[in-house]
Amino acid sequence: MGRWEPDARGRLAKAALALYAEHGYEQTTVAEIAKRAGLTERTFFRHYADKREVLFAGAGELEELFVRAVAGAPESAAPLDALTVGLDAVAEMFADRREFARRRQAVITANAELQERELIKLASMTAALTGTLRGRGVAEPTASLAAEAAVAVFKVTFERWIAPDEERTMQQLTRESLAELKAVTSVV
């Protein structure tokens, strides 16, 4: 047991999601999560600050990846083209996590506090992307609008991607959402 346990982090996340689905997020304790994963509470706390953190640990990674990809887009890329590079990187990161994402979403949808946390993470992502665009020399209000639009595309795409029976990749759905956004705004 302990620090040499292989993939303890992944096992804890899987055990937590299973318990949240079975007994509800509120009712589940860290002790139960550790037990289900065959690990100790001590090991749990080496990987996660609390039971909520299990659901949001990926959000920081997601934001960082998104921002890094946008920052690294060709200098000549227009704002939404740079953001699209980021959206593609995000889609790649999620590629093999669809089932996890579906289960996670079900837990979040059932709990108002978790939904709030999700909104905060998305707002943080929007702010970070706005800052990244400004760093690329994009003026306001363009930077804010482009970042908001990209996060809207991500949100809507993500919801479609985790829908039951949806089999298209996140990248395909991202392209569709971008085309749809373009169609929607082109009539004004």
The footprint of a second copy (CB under 8 A) covers: 78-81, 84, 116, 119-120, 123, 140-142, 144-146, 148-149, 152-153, 155-157, 159-160, 176-188
Q: Given the complex with a second copy, which of 16 and 173 has the nearer CB atom?
A: 173
Question: Which 3-state string (H, E, C) describes the chain?
Answer: CCCCCCCHHHHHHHHHHHHHHHHCCCCCCHHHHHHHCCCCHHHHHHHCCCCCHHHHHHHHHHHHHHHHHHHCCCCCCCHHHHHHHHHHHHHHHHCCCHHHHHHHHHHHHCCHHHHHHHHHHHHHHHHHHHHHHHHCCCCCCHHHHHHHHHHHHHHHHHHHHCCCCCCCCHHHHHHHHHHHHHHHHCCC
Q: Given the complex with a second copy, which of 95 and 119 has the nearer CB atom?
A: 119
CB 148, min distance to a second copy, A: 3
CB 175, min distance to a second copy, A: 9
CB 14, min distance to a second copy, A: 29
Q: Which residue has the tokens 């982090």?
A: 9
Q: Given the complex with a second copy, which of 136 and 155 has the nearer CB atom?
A: 155
Q: Given the complex with a second copy, which of 54 and 87 has the nearer CB atom?
A: 87
CB 45, min distance to a second copy, A: 24
Q: Given the complex with a second copy, which of 32 and 176 has the nearer CB atom?
A: 176
8 A C-beta contact, residue 40 and residue 1: yes
Q: Which amino acid is at 21?
A: A
Q: Given the complex with a second copy, which of 44 and 56 has the nearer CB atom?
A: 56
Overall size of the chain counted in residues:
188
CB 47, min distance to a second copy, A: 26
CB 79, min distance to a second copy, A: 6
